Amino acid sequence: MHNRILAALERSQADYTEIRLEERESTSVAFRGQELETASSVIDAGGMVRCLCHDGGWGIVTFNNRDNLEEKVAQATQCARAAKSDNPIELAPIPIVEDHITVALTRDFRGISLAEKKALVEGYNRLLLGYSDRIVDTSCRYHDTFSKITFANSEGSFIEEERPMVVLGTVAIARDGDNVQQAHESYSRLAGFEAAQGREALAETTARRAVELLAAESVTGGQYPVILNPDLAGVFIHEAFGHLSEADFIYENPAAREMMVLGRRFGPDFLTVFDDGCTPGLRGTHKYDDEGTPTQRTDLIRNGILVGRLHSRETAAKLGEAPTGNARAVNYRHAPIVRMTNTAIAPGTTSFDDMLKDIELGIYACDAYGGNTELESFSFSSGYAYMIRNGQLAEMVKDVILAGNLFATLQNIDAVGNDFVWRHPGGGCGKGGQAPLPVGMGAPHIRIQNVVIGGK
Amino acid sequence: MDMLQQLQVQTEQVEIIQVRSESTKVRFESNSLKATQVEETSGLAVRVVKDGRMGFAASSDVTATEKLMANALESAAYGDPAPFTFPGLQTPPEVACYDSIIAEFSIPRLVEIGQEIMAYLREVDPEGMVSVDLQRRIERFSLRNHAGADVAEMRTPFSLSFGVDRVKGDDMLMVYDMQGTTLWETDFMAPVRRLAEKFRLAQRIVPLSSARMPVLFSPPGAVVLTYPLMLGLSGKNVVKGISPLAKRAGEEIFDHRITVADDATLSGRFSSAPYDDEGVPHRRTVLIENGVLQGFYYDLKTAARAGVTSTGNGSRSLFGLPDPAPTNLVLNAGETPLSEMLASIKDGVWIEGVLGLGQGNIISGAFSNPLALAFKIENGEIVGRVKNASIAGNIYELLRHVGAISRETEWVYQDFSQPYILLEDMNIIAKG
């Protein structure tokens, strides 16, 4: 295959050509309630050719049949020529690398029987179901995937990489009459089967929370001071700010560029936000991005000031900045676009108790059900929450959905905690039809004043 | 011996699906053509029942049949009992979902259509950034099983999405739409003109204070109401006991003006096809009629669990097992002209879209969302766009009594046909 890739690149008529081939084997085991929904394996093999012509735009061909790469390159070149534009695309220079990245897994899941995987998931599912007779439905899922990716471009880079991933997810649904509540937890590592073992606490937490939510009242809508736990703070910074720092949002839009001008104050002095694709052990970590650019740590906000943004080669060239290793593709069906890797709020100095003590009436919002941004507006829902009354945590509340305007909200952060933690959630980020892309999130507790909480 | 025959010898039931599709895509970003893309997809998926247990495997490498069969049999060894049998050959309804005009669209023709849309939208605001995505697909789906089903379908889904973003100071405005069809619509500019009109209405920002007020949901805005309902009507959620509608068939759950049907037999709609993904013929399924709950949508497995027959709503991707899913979901038109509904509102809000659709505990019917695009209505007229507001409620309370339902309907998010819905008294939370 190595020689066929080089031959196809060699014959390309395009100004820039890249080929990405993927072979992926995955196994899934899923229980829903008492029932095993699936215990199965799938094979996914395919590739992508992407070409650039100076008088055109991107030409992209994706395929399952990898027999005739030269023909795919010719087709992609035609596509690139058809994408004529008065707005030419340039690529910022990156080092040419040849690399072969292999992984050593403590327990390689490819050698583990479906029976053992099923037994593991069945055990967790039994914990969920057995927690209370009010648990009426559960979902317990295990998924492993091993990808072999080959990336080569016409500049001479050739990278082969193995990417393993294990994901475990639990959902518990509790019911009391018409009152139906759910809770979920997930965990994922770029590691072997061992990462999915010994996770009984995950299942117990899920079941306990679903049952506890049955007794919680809906929150009363309004404006509150809110403390976000590290999980939710991580989702918040990813959703509310991270997406705006992806340079493809601004690189061809002068007004957006002005809004996101480097040097602008975004938050208080004690707020620092960064994206880091190279710290080992995190979900969004890779040695290179999907254009072959080495990953790095990029500070986005330093001491409250906007200092950086995330780039692909294309956006970096357009803005005259350096590529940051953030061009990522969810699989061979998609061209890489600007994405986050592991995004975090750097630790501050305030303890959780100090954040709590001067709140008369507020909300402690924990974990995230999901989040959504539309440019400056964002919304995210917490998995569970507590009222804060007179400086103390009080009763649990449900249906806490936080909404706001990015600029106002970042300015309203008035405390950043000293308890930073990286999280390894099993979900992923979606953008431009590409989901779920594994990303990491990190944060300490943070406190924000005047947050709008939706409610009846 | 082909795979079906080989597996039939070793198992009680077999089903093999094969997909083969080709697609071309054209993408315009920030007012200019950015990329064109060709996609070829192929794959095989197998379900078997061996010793009463279900197994599944899939592969996008169509030559890896030995591994595929081995994976399916291994999966069956650990599978759960299969409560149903695959259907035999059945006569499907006539459903128009293939159009040679779409099939023959070349990349230059797609570029031309995209340019026409872009040119129109660029007129709307010189500072706006227009994006347009067009995709035309030829989908071939075949299904064979041990019981004699032998389905071969060809469809031509065409999808079109377009939008305008505009940044002015710290105000960001995004207006977009997504359309889908399987038969070419000559007046493809109609939704583009509607979008441009919304953009014009959004130019002016007006203040709004928190209050209870009448809320008019436009067809895309009304998805915030139908999305939780879609989950409540799922046969799977009924079987699992988590749908609030379980065991309530025959009850009047909503205002008598509400009728909802799932219908994959409609001519030329995005999800129209003669068969579902399990070889069950499609049909029109009335889910709610005049406010009375009639039933739910099912695939083979959930139907068997519920003791009914599949409604032809089995839906799957190559790599997954089927689940019940709606196809084209139609909320019937009402009798009130939109102009009359608007005129009746002295002080209210018109909702076009929300953020975070589907987040929170929506199976219970509850939703709580910030408004993405919404207008203020004063004395029967739209006066401008409102910002930083949110709504919350529960559809199972709200839809018991609606103010009015419009005569006019629109297809939105490709698969939903919806009228305008007026709810007379909702809580709007606004900030500033």
Would the pLDDT of B270 be above 60? yes
- Mean pLDDT, to the nearest integer, of B212-232? 97
Confidence of residue B432 (pLDDT cuts 50, 70, 90): low
Q: Which residues of B touch A223 (CB under 8 A)?
A: 431
- What pLDDT score does A356 carry? 97
Confidence of residue A84 (pLDDT cuts 50, 70, 90): confident
Closest partner residue to A381 (CB to CB) among B33, B75, B360 is: B360
CA distance to partner chain A, nearest, from residue B26 (Å): 8
Provide the CA A363 distance to its chain's centre, in angstroms.
26
The per-residue pLDDT for range B186-199, each reduced to its tens digit, is 999 999 999 999 99
Q: Is B333 at the interface with chain A, CB within 8 A?
A: no
Q: Is B56 at the interface with chain A, CB within 8 A?
A: yes
For β-strands A421-423 and A440-443, DSSP reports them as antiparallel
How many other CB atoms are found less than 10 A from the CB of residue B227? Answer: 18
3-state secondary structure chain A: CHHHHHHHHHHCCCCEEEEEEEEEEEEEEEEECCEEEEEEEEEEEEEEEEEECCCCCEEEEEECCCCCHHHHHHHHHHHHHHCCCCCCCCCCCCCCCEEEECCCCCCCHHHCCHHHHHHHHHHHHHHHHHCCCCEEEEEEEEEEEEEEEEEEECCCCEEEEEEEEEEEEEEEEEEECCEEEEEEEEEEECCCHHHHCCCHHHHHHHHHHHHHHHCCEECCCEEEEEEECHHHHHHHHHHHHHHHHEHHHCCCCHHHHHHCCCCCECCCCCCCEEEECCCCCCCCCCCECCCCCECCEEEEEECCEECCCECCHHHHHHHCCCCCCCEECCCCCCCCEECCCEEEECCCCECHHHHHHCCCEEEEEEEEEEEEEECCEEEEEEEEEEEEECCEEEEEEECCEEEEEHHHHHHCEEEEECCCEEECCCCCEEECCEEEECCEEEECCEEEEEEEEECC
- What pLDDT score does A146 carry? 97
Would the pLDDT of B287 be above 80? yes
Residues near B187 by beta carbon (within 8 Å), at least 6 away in sequence: none
The per-residue pLDDT for range A315-370, each reduced to its tens digit, is 999 999 999 999 999 999 999 999 999 999 999 999 999 999 999 999 999 998 77
Q: CA B373 to CA B398: how far, in whole Å?
A: 21
* Inter-chain CB proximity A79 and B429 less than 8 Å: no
Report the residue of B172, B238, B357, B388 to disrupt the A interface, i.e. the one with the largest count of A CBs within 10 Å: B172
The per-residue pLDDT for range A239-257, each reduced to its tens digit, is 889 999 999 988 888 888 9
* Inter-chain CB proximity B361 and A182 less than 8 Å: yes
- What pLDDT score does B1 carry? 65
Domain ranges in chain B are: 3-199, 204-432
CA distance to partner chain B, nearest, from residue A192 (Å): 21
**Contact yes or no for B395/B229 (Cβ under 8 A):** yes
Q: CA B351 to CA A367: how far, in whole Å?
A: 29
Q: Which amino acid, residue A218?
A: S
CA distance to partner chain B, nearest, from residue A333 (Å): 8
Q: Is B115 at the interface with chain A, CB within 8 A?
A: no
* Inter-chain CB proximity B355 and A379 less than 8 Å: yes
- What pLDDT score does A368 carry? 86
**Is the omega angle on the peptide bond into residue A436 within 30 degrees of 0, that is, cis?**
yes
Would the pLDDT of B22 be above 90? yes
Q: CA B137 to CA B19: how far, in whole Å?
A: 12
- Mean pLDDT, to the nearest integer, of B318-322? 94
Q: Is B187 at the interface with chain A, CB within 8 A?
A: no
**Contact yes or no for A385/A400 (Cβ under 8 A):** yes
- What pLDDT score does A178 carry? 78
Would the pLDDT of A88 be above 90? no
Confidence of residue B164 (pLDDT cuts 50, 70, 90): very high
* Inter-chain CB proximity A38 and B68 less than 8 Å: no
* Inter-chain CB proximity B41 and A454 less than 8 Å: no
| Least confident span in A130-134, A178-182, A218-222, A332-336 | A178-182
Confidence of residue B318 (pLDDT cuts 50, 70, 90): very high
The per-residue pLDDT for range A260-290, each reduced to its tens digit, is 999 999 999 999 999 999 999 999 999 999 9
* Inter-chain CB proximity A371 and B359 less than 8 Å: yes
* Inter-chain CB proximity B40 and A62 less than 8 Å: yes
pTM: 0.89
Confidence of residue B320 (pLDDT cuts 50, 70, 90): very high
Closest partner residue to B369 (CB to CB) among A46, A61, A454 is: A454
Confidence of residue A432 (pLDDT cuts 50, 70, 90): confident
Q: Which residues of A touch B366 (CB under 8 A)?
A: 218, 399
Q: CA A276 to CA A280: how far, in whole Å?
A: 10
- What pLDDT score does A372 carry? 72
Measured between its terminal Cα atoms, the distance across chain B in Å is 72
**How is residue A452 written in tokens?**
């709008």
| Nearest-Cα residue of chain B relative to residue A251 | B30
- What pLDDT score does A456 carry? 53
- Hey, is B188 helix, strand or coil? coil
The per-residue pLDDT for range A199-226, each reduced to its tens digit, is 999 999 999 999 999 999 999 989 999 9
Report the residue of A22, A35, A40, A137 to disrupt the B interface, i.e. the one with the largest count of B CBs within 10 Å: A40
The number of C-beta contacts closer than 8 angstroms across A and B is 254
Got the DSSP string for B340-398?
HHHHT-SEEEEEEEESSTT-SSGGGTEEEEEEEEEEEEETTEEEEE--SEEEEEEHHHH
Any idea which architecture B3-199 has in CATH?
Answer: 2-Layer Sandwich (3.30)
**Contact yes or no for B132/B28 (Cβ under 8 A):** yes
- What pLDDT score does B149 carry? 97
Any idea which architecture A2-215 has in CATH?
Answer: 2-Layer Sandwich (3.30)
Mean of the per-residue pLDDT values for chain B? 95
Q: Which residues of B touch A137 (CB under 8 A)?
A: 240-242
Mean of the per-residue pLDDT values for chain A? 94
CA distance to partner chain A, nearest, from residue B348 (Å): 17
Would the pLDDT of B359 be above 80? no
Q: Is B247 at the interface with chain A, CB within 8 A?
A: no
ipTM above 0.95, yes or no: no
Give exposure, A407-437, as e/b (b: 16+ Cβ within 10 Å).
Answer: bbbbbbbebbbeebbbbbbbbbbebeebeeb
CA distance to partner chain A, nearest, from residue B93 (Å): 31
- What pLDDT score does A300 carry? 98
Closest partner residue to B429 (CB to CB) among A42, A218, A452 is: A452
Q: CA B300 to CA B307: how far, in whole Å?
A: 10
Q: CA B305 to CA B196: how far, in whole Å?
A: 48
Domain ranges in chain A are: 2-215, 218-454
| CA gyration radius, chain A | 23
HSE, side-chain direction, 13 A CA sphere, residue B172: 23
Confidence of residue A455 (pLDDT cuts 50, 70, 90): low
- What pLDDT score does A308 carry? 97
**Contact yes or no for A397/A219 (Cβ under 8 A):** yes
